[in-house]
Structure 1
């Protein structure tokens, strides 16, 4: 039971605000030493205590080799490059150009600004994948426009938060790269499998906005036409000028992966060069901008890898103390006629619940490795299971009280937007995500996936 107590201790420490990487590391060392004392049969003497502590320390002899293996992992090399690509694109003003042109194009349609926000969120997800940057950019630009034209504030806030989180499921996604490493499956397979579920979410968001604006016309009114909009032909040309560069980059990065021309790591390098080229094209390139983007990339990457090292120590001690066997037996004996579906439903509910309180990186490196051996025993297809988890983790960005997208939007929203408005606004979109998640779970063939190996 040491492993189970260790798990809940770490979870409690995370909930009260301790830093993630240090929490995992410290809890692992503490319970590793306890496991060593228990292992030798502690009899109360000082000699027995020293021997037990020595046994616990020996458990960490292989940690340097595990850390070295992480450093040599070519899959994880894609993380800093995709982060750098996203930050450079964010600093080029790509979001502003897309939102402005899309707003003119769809503004005269009821709910048009909200629809353009979803479409821009989709393009930003496929080109940058940085949730914080997407939410803030759309919050600064799109939210004031929607409020000016009397959009329902919760609807406007919910649309921006939901659109900004599309980068967690639409490739290139940091979540999918991490899950590819955890599941030991090709990241390219995850990218190609995530496209249709991601687009299904986009379509579902737009349908929801259209339905709401049709039945409640005052919630998302059309923008009256004015001289700045130009003719419809000019609007289309302006939109194409804004879309084509980013779309070209998306095709180069994702197309090379899907066609097998390049690995995700190689494509990430192409994406970095493409982002620099776009910054030159938009005349926003400066050495200071590149330096700032590089520093931010290093900070984010360092955070991810620090968590990974702590999680590696945690999972090692958890397995050593028998926690993995307890979870394995529990999962295989869940109530219900079909162990496979009982396992899927239980894990999806557990991840959804944990997503209210802890980040997707912790869930990916601590919870998911515990579930993988059970899924392999049940013969569950790893790609399908990984996509389900990725969609579930995307929902964690929206769930109150700690959803990151909610904090990002609140930090940049005008004074008239209350926290409760943001919470109310995301609830329909959380429900939409759960519905699409259920479709992927129960009807994977629609999305070109299989339940079993």
Structure 2
């Protein structure tokens, strides 16, 4: 008995990825081949492919996804500006004298970089180049040190802002709407990026706490695995700590605060983050920083005043006060514009601008190409009846809604060994998420639970991206086997984090309920 085409299609996708072909080409090629095969065998209606143009246009005009290149730009600028190095050095000297302290400092720096960059590769490479050699020289178990760096780098996917949460919010919002349509509702609710960001914040910090507790326990029961820093040097004072911590924290507050406070949309907040990161990078370059500082202050005042005192000079009843306020706001715009221009010029002279723009274009193109081709794949997969097959399997799971959710989470976990989070989000979730929501699972809680699961895909061999990033940045004495074995305990901690979120849903639902 021959296998159905939908099953063969998914198996062909996994096989082609394992061979090593680029994911975007694999998705598009597999979809094209099986669309032709389905058409030839009468299992696929060719008229269905007419929706491809609509899907491509919908991707290009999606307001939510516009934030992705801006957040990527922000992260790459911060990577090139050596903020990560200062954070690691300062935190290492602060926590180094305690057992496991250097590992704790790496986790905390990973959390700060996650909330200010959201790029896994940049964080893992930076800490692999700086923190990993220091831990190994100080006597840390190479496997533990590798696991710490890999896992801390993945926090950029669960702590907002992150590209994973942006893509996930769009996919889960569509799934939520489909579930409501199938229930026969006429008033449709949606999920916003701000709600998903708020829901993921506390679970992300919970994972940070779980990592730290594990490191301290490991250092207590096995002192040789994580000894104190032998040559920690003088502990940094409050001023040095503030100088290292305040810049990324200010950026975090500006970006996340504007989204969670309802002041700006994710795209607007991403633009704020991109400009703020550029100003921070320019301020660290040699030369006067007064104009940069004045521009940052001017732009901050502009954001506050524009919200508190909106000016409508085109109105016929605009008086002297409105014109004065308008003049002040115009002056702030000029100062901010001059500062941004100076920042761009200084970044270009320092050789930062070209690699930043190149990296931003590369990462953005990779993400959007994967989303587009995965959309093509999912359309053909649905045309072959794959979505109905998956739904029938989920509905047949024992244990009702809880059993179905366990099956889906296990499926996503296993697929994470082979597929990237983008492919899983765009191919698998549109099929399974509406059914899970129909079964009664809260869409906000479900989004965060899936996000933690997808974060784990960066750690699971053989295709965990964090493992690849660290392999490229780690010293030669760190073997690939040590990296793979080092992440195993942290994969177990990810499962612990998912279990805590499952048992205590309020961790994900409380903050969105308060803010929205």
Partner residue, 1:221:
227
Give the match's secondary structure for 1:432: helix
Tell whether the 8 Å contact from 1:384 to 1:449 is kept in structure 2 after alignment.
no
Equivalent in the alignment of 2:195: 189
Matches within 5 A, 1:113-152: 113-152=102-141
Indicate the larger mover: 415-424 or 112-121: 415-424
SS of residue matched to 1:253: helix
Identify which of 373, 378, 391 aligns with 2:434.
373
- Alpha carbons of structure 1 residues 224 and 32: separation in structure 2 relative to 1, 3 Å: closer
User: 2:29 and 2:230 mapped to 1: Cα distance?
Assistant: 59
Give the SS at the match of 2:225. coil
**For 1:443 and 1:65, how far apart are their aligned partners in 2?**
40
Residue number in structure 2 paired with 1:295:
358
Displacement of 1:33: 2.4
Is the Cα–Cα contact under 8 Å of residues 64 and 170 in structure 2 kept in the other structure?
yes
The 2-side partners of 1:224 and 1:309 are apart by 51
Q: 1:197-244, CA deviations, whole angstroms, 9 ceiling, x for partnerless residues?
A: 111111111111111111222221112466xx33x5x43321111000
C-alpha deviations, 1:283-307, integer Å up to 9, x for none? Answer: 1742242232112111111111111
1:21 alignment partner in structure 2: 24
> How far apart in 2 are the matches of 1:148 and 1:21?
40
TM-score for both structures, normalised by structure 1: 0.91
Contact kept? 2:124, 2:469, Cα under 8 Å = yes
Are residue 91 (structure 1) and residue 80 (structure 2) matched? Answer: yes
Query: Does structure 1 residue 355 correspond to structure 2 residue 416?
Result: yes
Are the equivalent residues in 1 in contact too, given 2:398–2:404 (CA < 8 A)?
no
Question: SS of 2:352's equivalent?
Answer: helix
Q: Aligned partners of 2:414 and 2:51: how far apart in 1?
A: 33
Q: How does 1:42-191 map to 2 (within 5 A)?
A: 56=46, 58-184=47-173, 185-191=191-197
Confirm whether residue 315 of structure 1 aligns to residue 378 of structure 2: yes
Residue 500 of structure 2 is aligned to residue 425 of structure 1: no
What is the aligned counterpart of 2:391 among 321, 328, 336?
Answer: 328
Segment drifting more, 297-306 vs 86-95:
297-306
* Cα distance in 2, alignment partners of residues 165 and 440 from structure 1: 18
TM-score by length of 2: 0.80
Match among 468, 477, 488 for residue 416 of structure 1: 477
- Whether the 8 Å CA contact 1:25–1:310 is kept in 2: the answer is yes
Contact 1:32/1:59, CA 8 A, preserved across alignment: no
- Of 273, 276, 279, the match for 2:275: 273
Does structure 1 conserve the Cα–Cα contact (< 8 Å) formed by 2:203 and 2:507? Answer: no
Q: What is the CA–CA distance in structure 1 between the aligned matches of 2:437 and 2:171, rounded to whole Å?
A: 13
Residue 383 of structure 1, CA deviation: 1.7
Equivalent position SS for 1:286: helix
| Mapped contact 1:89–1:279 kept (Cα < 8 A) | yes
Query: 1:433 offset after TM fit, Å?
Result: 0.9
Q: Are the equivalent residues in 2 in contact too, given 1:136–1:412 (CA < 8 A)?
A: yes
User: In structure 2, how many angstroms separate the alpha carbons of the residues matched to 1:23 and 1:409?
Assistant: 25
Which residue of structure 1 lines up, in the alignment, with residue 14 of structure 2? Answer: 11
Q: Which residue of 2 aligns with 1:44?
A: none
Q: Secondary structure at the match of 1:218?
A: helix
Rounded to whole Å, the distance in 2 between the matches of 1:320 and 1:405 is: 34
Give the drift of 1:449.
Answer: 5.4
Contact kept, 8 Å, 2:444 with 2:508, in 1: the verdict is no
Unaligned runs of 5+ residues in structure 1 are 41-51
Q: In structure 2, list runs of 5 or more residues that go unmatched.
A: 174-190, 287-345, 512-516
Hey, what does 1:438 align to over in structure 2?
A: 499
Q: Name the SS for the 2:285 alignment partner.
A: coil
Query: What is the number of equivalent residue pairs in this alignment?
Result: 430
Relative to structure 1, the CA distance from residue 118 to residue 433 in structure 2 (aligned partners, 3 Å threshold; closer, same or farther) is same
Contact in 1 for aligned 2:153/2:466 (Cα 8 Å):
yes
1:261 aligned to which of 240, 260, 263: 263
Shift of 1:377: 2.3
Aligned-residue RMSD, C-alpha: 1.8
- Which stretch of structure 1 is more off in the superposition, 399-408 or 74-83? 399-408
The Cα of 1:81 is off from its aligned counterpart by 0.6
Hey, what does 1:198 align to over in structure 2? 204
Residue 467 of structure 2 corresponds to which residue in structure 1? 406
How far did 1:102 drift? 0.6
Check conservation: 2:416, 2:454, Cα contact below 8 A.
yes
Residues 330-378 of structure 1: CA deviation (Å, up to 9, x unaligned)? 1111122xx2111111111111111112211111111111112212321
- Alignment check: 8 A CA contact 1:101 1:235 kept: no
In 1, are the aligned partners of 2:449 and 2:498 still within 8 Å (CA)? yes
